[in-house]
Amino acid sequence: MNCPHGHKEMKIKKSEEKVCFRDVQLSIPVEQYVCPECGEEAGTIDQAAAIQKSIADAYRKSAGLLTGKEIVEGRKKLNLTQDDLVKKMSVGIASIKRWEGAGIQSKSMDQALRSALHGQNTGDSCTGNRSFSLPRIKLVFVELEKALGKKLLKKNDKMLFAAKYLWYADMIAHRETGQSMTGATYAALPLGPQLNNYRELIEDIIKADPSSDEPLSPEEKRILTRVALRFPREQLVLKAAHGEPAWKKKSNGQLIPYTDSGELTAL
């Protein structure tokens, strides 16, 4: 790479730089080109990407989260492909790819990652003994919307209400059938139980083809009817969820395991 000011070839310079990221001071290794004559600095796209990854990893280290490298190494140690990890954790492949790169996982997803990378079958309590299924989530919403006579899921939805209906449906199914309806994982957020990673899933739920997975059983349909009858208005499901010990006892971001389904009080 030549200096843009007409000087000769620039030289690679390695240094430690201080950056502030999410209010944390981080020291990261930086590699870029510097002109020995005028001091002009320039970086390639690859170098910029490496810096992004260094920032993400330094931040994760400081926050006690697994780094991208640790996730890749942990996965390879267990001989798991990214797809295997997707199945184990009930997340999208895009999430795994991001976390192994410059993306930063939430605390609850870090917890799930650690369990999965220890080879534990925690997928069971996270997913309620069912493989995560977007088509089934769609099926549940279609059924609930029919019973409630209104739309629950809209574009750019924050799922404030929809996630609570879904949570009750999954938890009650787990309690009564030993298996969740959708395999979804839930986290305790300030506004109540929420579908984990909902921001990344919502478009896929809306687009999902409900006929591409097992149809709802009569028992599951009966549970959904009960959920709709118990919470005919959205405010009711919100209020009920906020009264559940299964949510109240959790710290912010903590996963709500299906094993708590026995503690439900509203239904």
Decide: is 3 part of the binding site for Zn ion (CB under 5 A): yes
Among 26, 28, 30, 35, binds Zn ion (CB under 5 A): 35
Decide: is 5 part of the binding site for Zn ion (CB under 5 A): yes
Binding segment toward Zn ion, per CB under 5 A, in 36-44, 125-133, 138-146, 164-172: 36-44
Among 1, 2, 7, 44, binds Zn ion (CB under 5 A): 7
**What is the nearest approach in angstroms of Zn ion to the Cβ of residue 35?**
3
Q: Is 188 helix (H, G, I), strand (E, B) or coil?
A: strand
**What is the nearest approach in angstroms of Zn ion to the Cβ of residue 70?**
39
Give the whole-angstrom CA distance, residue 255 versus residue 95.
Answer: 17
Give the whole-angstrom CA distance, residue 142 versus residue 224.
Answer: 10
- Tokens 């931040």 identify what position? 59
Give the whole-angstrom CA distance, residue 32 versus residue 29.
Answer: 10
Sign of the four-CA dihedral 31, 36, 41, 45 = negative
| Close Cβ partners of 15 (under 8 Å, ≥ 6 residues apart) | 29, 30
Decide: is 83 part of the binding site for Zn ion (CB under 5 A): no
**What is the nearest approach in angstroms of Zn ion to the Cβ of residue 65?**
40
**What is the nearest approach in angstroms of Zn ion to the Cβ of residue 212?**
59
| Close Cβ partners of 264 (under 8 Å, ≥ 6 residues apart) | 168, 171, 172, 175, 244, 246
Among 19, 31, 40, 52, binds Zn ion (CB under 5 A): 40
Q: Please state the three-class secondary structure of 209-250 as a single string.
A: CHHHCCCCCHHHHHHHHHHHHHCCCHHHHHHHHHCCHHHHCC
Among 1, 22, 27, 37, binds Zn ion (CB under 5 A): 37
Decide: is 33 part of the binding site for Zn ion (CB under 5 A): no
Binding segment toward Zn ion, per CB under 5 A, in 33-41, 74-82, 103-111, 194-202: 33-41
Binding segment toward Zn ion, per CB under 5 A, in 32-40, 57-65, 66-74, 86-94: 32-40
Q: Could you say which residues in the range 163-222 bind Zn ion, by CB under 5 A?
A: none
Nearest alpha-carbon partner for 148 in 164, 132, 136, 135: 164
Rg of the chain over CA atoms, in angstroms? 23
Binding segment toward Zn ion, per CB under 5 A, in 29-37, 137-145, 204-212, 225-233: 29-37
Q: Is residue 197 a contact partner of residue 95, using CB atoms and an 8 Å limit?
A: yes
Give the whole-angstrom CA distance, residue 25 versus residue 266.
Answer: 45
**What is the nearest approach in angstroms of Zn ion to the Cβ of residue 37?**
5
* Residue with smaller CB distance to Zn ion, 39 or 149: 39
**What is the nearest approach in angstroms of Zn ion to the Cβ of residue 34?**
9
**What is the nearest approach in angstroms of Zn ion to the Cβ of residue 43?**
15
Binding site for Zn ion (CB under 5 A): 3, 5, 7, 35, 37-38, 40
